[in-house]
Amino acid sequence: MSGTRTGASVSAALAVLWLVLALLNPETTYHLAPVLVAAGWPVVYRLRAGGRRPVMLRTLAVAGGAGTALLVTGVLGALGALRGPTLTGTGNALAETIIAIAAGVVAGMIAVGVVPQRRARKFPR
């Protein structure tokens, strides 16, 4: 279980760092922060736990990272701290942040092996 706690700590530390930076500089967009917060927990869990672990704990790590990133996004959105420029030029930093969180979730799923793998079809002989 220490991998889960360590992953949560890393994700929380990254979230606090992102929150503080964004509140101090609301005109700046930290494009990589939501990806790191969302993927931090599952990646660290994988590194600490190693090997195959119960799918429930792996899913918990992915959901925890996503939830942490979404919580910070909600706080920043409510405080008006997502006013910086976007990569796409659309002017909607909130939407871009949600997309970045989704990318972090996918990275986390790949890291812990939650992504379903296709099995080769076996044809009758």
User: Which two tokens mark 54?
Assistant: 């119960």
* Cβ neighbours around 114 below 10 Å, total: 17
Q: Which domain holds residue 55?
A: 2-112
Check: CB of residue 117 under 8 Å from CB of residue 47: no
- Report the Cα 34 to chain-centroid distance in Å: 6
Domain assignment present for residue 52? The answer is: yes
Q: Which residue has the higher pLDDT, 55 or 12?
A: 12
Q: What is the CA radius of gyration of the chain?
A: 17
pLDDT in tens, 33-72: 999 999 999 999 988 887 678 888 889 999 999 999 999 9
Q: What is the pTM of this model?
A: 0.84
3-class DSSP state for residue 95?
A: helix
3-class DSSP state for residue 70?
A: helix
Domain assignment present for residue 48? The answer is: yes
* Number of domains into which the chain is organized: 1
Domain assignment present for residue 118? The answer is: no
Which stretches of the chain are assigned E, i.e. beta strand?
Answer: none
Domain assignment present for residue 42? The answer is: yes
Domain assignment present for residue 92? The answer is: yes
Domain assignment present for residue 124? The answer is: no
Q: Which residue matches tokens 């409510």?
A: 78
Domain assignment present for residue 99? The answer is: yes
